[in-house]
């Protein structure tokens, strides 16, 4: 099965998954206690206003008809108005999502570099004090929530040492670049504002590292375990017996097949970061999608909640597709197994 066919199949499967997710979100939003129309206009609005809004929202129609109208609007990018911001939810998503995407991207880079690097180091010095230290860090990092790391980093690097900023995306005295992508670092580079780019990186360092710590620990543990298992394989012993330099054995013959389970978990961890980032974004006052979604849940903003969940679901699906493509390149047998299952 070709790579293009593999990709098309995954995209088609993803469409049905998103449709199922949208149905679940819609049903939950409609069966929750409270009248969506009353919540939208407020408790003091006269009843005739509520009745008119119920008619506009098709709430007097059967549930299947309501879902049809809602899905049609969602496909056009119309999720209604947010009860909190009183703006179209789509406008809010476009404003807050780039900040979270930027944070998750840098967190993912730290996770990949740190996790694979530590895992490789641990496997290289297996059963030494270096291996023991990395394994201890891995166990501690996996069980510690990201917001605990965030509080620790704020106290140490923000207050005690005053090395890095802890609030917002830019310092007050720094001029923000023209908004193109909504990602501060990218927009700063596009505008040629390298000072702004460095300032944005300094603001992103602590929240990105807070989100990455758990993934770094997880990837280090998986990489170390996978490399340790592959070290006992015959082809590694053959390469070493033939006098192949150790750096080539570790980098070309050992690391590549060992990365398959690491990449599989890393992609899902990066996607999951979007949904678990709300406390970290709150601690660092980061104007991202996770923080927006938490505010929507606290205020029962059903339109915003539905949109945020769909965006997060799409992120998970996209991460799964990218992971499958990377794994298929690392291990072509994956595509062959998929072809045989057809």
What tens digit of pLDDT does each residue of 259-270 get? 777 777 777 777
pLDDT tens-place string over residues 119-138:
888 887 888 888 889 888 88
pLDDT at 138: 87
Which listed CATH number (1.10.3720.10, 3.40.50.2030, 3.40.309.10, 2.40.40.20) goes with 89-341?
1.10.3720.10
> Would you place residue 40 in the very low, low, confident or very high pLDDT band (cuts 50, 70, 90)?
low
Average pLDDT rounded to a whole number, residues 282-298: 84
pLDDT at 41: 64
CA dihedral sign of residues 292, 294, 297, 303:
positive
Average pLDDT rounded to a whole number, residues 246-262: 71
In terms of average pLDDT, the best of 68-77, 195-204, 219-228, 267-276 is 195-204
Note whether 267 and 239 are within 8 A (CB): no
Average pLDDT of the chain, as a whole number = 80
pLDDT at 339: 45
Integer CA distances (angstroms), 242 to 35, 64, 249, 272, in order: 74, 68, 11, 43
Q: At what angle do helices 89-124 and 129-143 cross, to 10 degrees?
A: 160
- 156 vs 279, more confident: 156
- Which has the closest alpha carbon to 98: 14, 176, 214, 12? 176
pLDDT tens-place string over residues 167-191:
888 888 888 888 888 888 888 898 8
Mean pLDDT lowest among 21-35, 148-162, 325-339: 325-339
How many separate helices (H) and strands (E) can be counted in the chain? 16, 0
> Would you place residue 340 in the very low, low, confident or very high pLDDT band (cuts 50, 70, 90)?
very low
How many Cβ atoms are within 10 Å of 172's Cβ, its own excluded?
A: 6
pLDDT at 35: 67
Average pLDDT rounded to a whole number, residues 44-71: 77
pLDDT at 253: 67
> Would you place residue 336 in the very low, low, confident or very high pLDDT band (cuts 50, 70, 90)?
very low
In the predicted structure, residue 303 carries a pLDDT above the cut 70: yes
In the predicted structure, residue 139 carries a pLDDT above the cut 80: yes
> Would you place residue 198 in the very low, low, confident or very high pLDDT band (cuts 50, 70, 90)?
very high
Average pLDDT rounded to a whole number, residues 267-295: 81
Look up the pTM and report it.
0.79
In the predicted structure, residue 42 carries a pLDDT above the cut 70: no
Give me the percent of the chain exceeding a pLDDT of 90.
Answer: 2
- In the numeric block, the tokens 């939950």 are attached to 28
Note whether 284 and 103 are within 8 A (CB): no
Lookup: tokens for 13: 């499967």
Mean pLDDT lowest among 3-7, 58-62, 162-166: 3-7
Average pLDDT rounded to a whole number, residues 275-285: 82
């Amino acid at each position: 099965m070709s790579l293009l066919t593999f990709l098309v199949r995954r995209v088609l499967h993803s469409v049905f998954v998103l449709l199922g997710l949208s149905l679940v979100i819609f049903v939950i939003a409609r069966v929750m206690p409270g009248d969506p129309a009353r919540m939208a206009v407020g408790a003091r609005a006269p009843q005739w206003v509520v009745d008119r809004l119920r008619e506009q929202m098709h709430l007097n129609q059967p549930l299947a008809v309501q879902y049809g109208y809602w899905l049609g609007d969602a496909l056009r990018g119309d999720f209604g108005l947010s009860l909190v911001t009183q703006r179209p939810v789509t406008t809010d998503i476009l404003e807050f999502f780039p900040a979270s995407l930027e944070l998750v991207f840098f967190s993912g880079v730290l996770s990949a570099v740190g996790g694979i690097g530590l895992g490789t180091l641990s496997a290289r010095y297996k059963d030494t004090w270096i291996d023991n230290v990395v394994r201890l860090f891995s166990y501690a990092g996996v069980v510690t929530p990201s917001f605990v790391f965030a509080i620790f980093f704020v106290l140490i690097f923000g207050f005690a040492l005053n090395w890095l900023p802890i609030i917002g995306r830019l310092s007050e005295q720094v001029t923000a670049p023209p908004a193109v992508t909504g990602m501060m670092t990218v927009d700063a580079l596009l505008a040629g504002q390298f000072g702004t780019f460095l300032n944005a990186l300094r603001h992103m360092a602590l929240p990105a590292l807070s989100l990455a710590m758990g993934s770094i620990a997880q990837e280090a543990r998986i990489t170390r375990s996978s490399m340790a298992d592959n070290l006992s394989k015959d082809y590694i012993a053959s390469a070493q017996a033939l006098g192949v330099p150790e750096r080539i054995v570790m980098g070309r013959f050992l690391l590549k097949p060992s990365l398959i389970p690491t990449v599989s978990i890393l992609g899902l961890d990066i996607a999951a970061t979007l949904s678990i980032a709300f406390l970290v974004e709150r601690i660092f006052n980061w104007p991202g999608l996770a923080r927006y979604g938490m505010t929507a849940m606290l205020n029962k903003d059903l339109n915003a909640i539905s949109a945020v969940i769909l965006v997060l679901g799409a992120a998970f699906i996209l991460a799964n597709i990218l992971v499958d493509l990377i794994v298929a390149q690392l291990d072509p047998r994956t595509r062959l197994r998929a072809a045989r299952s057809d």
